[in-house]
Copies of this chain bind each other. A is one copy, B any other.
Amino acid sequence: MHETIQDGAYVRIYLDARRTWLRKVQAGAAFHSNRGIIHYDDLIGRPYGIRIRSHSGQVFEVHRPTVTDIQVAMGRSTQIVYPKDAGMIIVETGIGAGSRVVESGTGSGALTWVLSNVVGDSGHVYTYEVREDMYRSAHKSLSRFADMDRITMYCKDVRDGIEERDVDAVVLDLATPWEVLKTAHEALCPSRVLASYSPTIEQVMRTCKALREDNRWGMIKTLEVLVREIMVREGKTRPPTWMVGHTGYMTFARKLVAEP
């Protein structure tokens, strides 16, 4: 028996790459688009992964949202770390099931959500957000989607210090990451990885300068990720005309320890 769509669950309704929605199923209500209406009652009790026809005859796919689908939906109102960049942060920090990760700021909670899915029940995500409105909004979003046993949320300025020690990774998405390097160094286990995400090159330059001057960070590198789609259609295969050309740069560094 597969899981079926329940009242209150989230579904990803999909027509094509540009026309796709994440919606909460509500008994008695309906999904409206300019390609037709789908009554949620027609979804409840049925499996994910079905095709359904709207009243106007348009066929939609109805999917169980992936972790990334929810990440994107959580970040709709603020700028988020894109999935492509989250994937790079995961592989470059080397986190996995069981890892303990510190993140700041929480922002929309979208990356917190992704990290909490990677670290699982045997790991933990500690996330710091200085703005109370963001903290509250992220708390609300995360409570809806995430297993909160895996997440500790602080409404605190991370510049005042990270409480955790010996963590496996520190992930920064802050306007001034260079102010947090000292506390990040204290929090990290030796040889573990700091990741810092910044949209501008000046932020990257200042962060790298601070890392070098601190002289306790190794393997410093900065990169960006570009994803290019290819529309594979018989006889008309080509990349789309427009693509995302920039989101943010990611700087990685590993904690060095003084020779005893």
Contact = CB atoms under 8 A, between A and B. Distances in A.
Interface stretch (A21-29, A41-49, A130-138): A41-49
A64 B117 CA distance: 24
Contact of A47 (B51, B90, B227, B257): B257
Given A68-B94, A96-B118, A237-B202, A221 B49 contact: no
A91 B92 CA distance: 14
Interface string A107-142: 000000010011111110000000000000000000
B190 A61 contact: no
Contacts of A123: 97
A84 B123 CA distance: 23
Which of A17, A52, A64, A66 gathers most chain B CB within 10 Å?
A66
Given A2-B257, A90-B91, A225-B227, 19 more contacts: A48-B257, A49-B190, A49-B255, A63-B219, A68-B92, A86-B87, A88-B227, A90-B90, A96-B120, A98-B121, A120-B122, A121-B122, A202-B237, A205-B232, A205-B237, A224-B228, A224-B230, A239-B245, A243-B243
